[in-house]
Structure 1
Amino acid sequence: MTSTTRMGGRMGGRTGVRMGVRMGVLALLWGSAFLWIELALDHGLTPGWITFVRCLLGAGVLLALAYAAGQRLPRDRRTWRRLAVAAFFCNALPFLLFGIGQQTVDSGVAGVLNATTPLWSLLIGVALGTERGFGAAKVAGLVLGFAGILLIFAPWSGDSGLMSIGALALLGASASYAVAFAYMARKLVGGGTAPMALSAAQLLAATALSVPAPLAGGTGTLTWAGVGAVVVLGIFATGLTFHLNYRMIAEEGPTSAATVGYLLPVVSVALGALVLDEPLTVRVVAGMAVVLAGVALTRRGRRPAPDPDLEPEPDPDRGPAPGVPSGRSSAVAGP
């Protein structure tokens, strides 16, 4: 073996380790969002306040990063109108619904349901006629994915199951992400605005849209633990995670970044069991495995039909995670 080959092997090994560490850190930060939401709820914050503060702090982080990178916010009104629509369905509404849902549903289960976004995206694509190649694998993926949801909630057990307000809110949040990604793939690709600045602008719009939420939800008994949880949620699990994800896509490619999506529910279930002492039942673990298997099947060879009025763009559901957009249509999403 030549010295050049040995050096190449060592460099490849270091690159693999670095990529693995980066993926692990990103999955831990992003998957911990459900934990921080749960802690904030348990320590006096309402879903409305969590949504508003999360959007505000996330916007602040991305604005600072965009400014440091020399990226400027969009200035035309059309882009801002489109960002407002994306911010509602991709941030303000799902963030609020996750807070509402986690009042009655465990954080680990919320993380698993967040991973169902590609299933909703596929259904929306079929309804809009933009989904091509809807073959047996994708049909099987849909059936498996929603069977996993049924397995988790087990409505046959006599509990409220899928008809509970919390469960419906969480499923609504995942479906809202799917609506947002379908819209962003058509309306927020290209345009010349740098991705970081575009995402910062989107979270600014989401912050404005979230202003009424704290007023409608009342107030609770605020504690420093609740404040700390929502600060970590906004700064690290929203703003910083997007920055790390954007760097991973740029340096490692969307395939590596997409792998993180399959780790998020695993992280959320593990943290819920270890930190919050949530029950780690065989049914929940099996349901998570079935959901992720269904998602994997629906994503095989997926390509959306191009919009003739727009430059062709990658499908946002192909990376960086189930339910998280990437590429030039990059924008802030999250559990």
Structure 2
Amino acid sequence: MPAFVALSALWGSSFALIKIGVDAGVSPMWVALWRCLFGAVTLLVVCAVQRLPLPRDKATWGHALVVAALLNAAPFALFAYGEQYVDSVLAGIFNATTPLLTLVFVLLMVNDERLTGRRVAGLGLGFLGVLVVLGVWNGLVGGTLVGGLACLAATACYGAGFAYTRRFFSQRPGSVTALSAVQIGCATLELGVVTAAAGLAPTWPGWYAAIALLVLGALGTGLAYILNLRIIRDAGPTVASTVTYVVPLWSTLIGAVLLSEPLSWNTFVGAAMVIAGILVSRTRSGRREKVDAAAGSR
């Protein structure tokens, strides 16, 4: 639970930090690249201090390249692109659709995950809460539609990434920190290649945005992905992905306080529905999943 709450707060603040970078004129690809670079450096420093060796087998690095593309490179760039058109509050709420998409991929890829009635009911209630927060009765048009679709594409990447991580990567030999360092390092490499191929040069956004990107990378990516992989190992990808139900609460609060983004009645009603969805989705199988995952990590 402490790791779950800390991870939700870190990722909840990420959307405001992304918005600061984008509004300062940093291109979406560079927002994603700086984020991964600072995160990778942080993780490598932690590995050096704790004297944790990085995995050397080719299979781990091969899976890391896939996980990095699904959980980092692609969604980080897509969210930054989307936040050119929508505010951080809305982006954080779109992120809450991740558990729905994760379930689809989990059922296809992970043998020990089962779809239960309570889980479906909880995810359904949470998704309805997201729709209420969005105010779908007002419609989504123009830039909001473009930004929203980009954010939804990012969450689809997360859904596939959570499932792939559980089946092929989270149980690989090595510490959580070392595996996270490899993952974010691979994402940095992938984004660097794409950014260079696109001919996008970095620009100085000012100290305020630079600090925001540094915090986004060091904490929102470096520390956060240690917590993320640990939760996936201990509780499974579906439980880990439900952290995105809590993220909108943080992103809404931080967006309103830090960026003065507007709030409405449906934001609070929808948030209450999201919390209710989290409570309903808790199933008895969660205890068995935790035991199985712990046994597999030994």
For the 8 Å contact 1:51–1:92, the answer to whether it is kept is yes
Quote the Cα distance in structure 2 between the aligned partners of 1:313 and 1:24. 20
Shift of 1:198: 1.0
Quote the Cα distance in structure 2 between the aligned partners of 1:175 and 1:51. 17
Shift of 1:64: 0.7
Correspondence 1:187 to 2:198: no
Give, as a single letter, the amino acid of the residue that structure 1 aligns with 2:212.
A
How many corresponding residue pairs? Answer: 292
Provide the aligned C-alpha RMSD in A.
Answer: 3.7
Shift of 1:116: 2.8
Shift of 1:247: 8.8
Quote the Cα distance in structure 1 between the aligned partners of 2:168 and 2:292. 12
1:23-61: CA deviations, max 9, x gaps? 876654442111110101111111100111110110000
In proportion to residue count, which structure has more helix? Answer: 2
For the 8 Å contact 1:131–1:303, the answer to whether it is kept is no
Identity across matched positions, percent: 38
Shift of 1:225: 2.3
1:148-167: CA deviations, max 9, x gaps? 23223334324429981211
Quote the residue 2:272 is aligned against.
289
For the 8 Å contact 1:161–1:167, the answer to whether it is kept is no
Give, as a single letter, the amino acid of the residue that structure 2 aligns with 1:135.
T
Correspondence 1:60 to 2:41: yes
Give, as a single letter, the amino acid of the residue that structure 1 aligns with 2:283.
R
Give, as a single letter, the amino acid of the residue that structure 2 aligns with 1:50.
V
Pair 1:249–1:68, CA change in 2 (3 A): farther
Q: Which residue of 81, 87, 104 corresponds with 2:68?
A: 87
Pair 1:265–1:70, CA change in 2 (3 A): same
Quote the residue 1:51 is aligned against.
32
For the 8 Å contact 1:39–1:226, the answer to whether it is kept is yes
Q: Which residue of 263, 268, 283 corresponds with 1:280?
A: 263
Quote the Cα distance in structure 2 between the aligned partners of 1:267 and 1:48. 24
Quote the Cα distance in structure 2 between the aligned partners of 1:162 and 1:135. 37
Q: Secondary structure at the match of 1:32?
A: helix
The structure whose Rg is larger is 1
Quote the Cα distance in structure 2 between the aligned partners of 1:120 and 1:249. 16
Q: Which residue of 282, 293, 296 corresponds with 1:313?
A: 293
Quote the Cα distance in structure 2 between the aligned partners of 1:217 and 1:172. 24
Shift of 1:144: 1.8
For the 8 Å contact 1:54–1:238, the answer to whether it is kept is yes
Task: Structure 2 unaligned segments of length 5 or more: list them.
Answer: none
1:265-303: CA deviations, max 9, x gaps? 222101111111111111122223323433443342346
For the 8 Å contact 1:100–1:166, the answer to whether it is kept is yes
Quote the Cα distance in structure 2 between the aligned partners of 1:103 and 1:196. 32
Shift of 1:132: 5.3
Quote the Cα distance in structure 1 between the aligned partners of 2:230 and 2:110. 33
Quote the residue 1:4 is aligned against.
none
Quote the Cα distance in structure 2 between the aligned partners of 1:247 and 1:125. 18
- TM norm structure 2: 0.82
For the 8 Å contact 2:88–2:251, the answer to whether it is kept is yes
Quote the Cα distance in structure 2 between the aligned partners of 1:171 and 1:239. 23
Task: Structure 1 unaligned segments of length 5 or more: list them.
Answer: 1-18, 315-326, 330-335
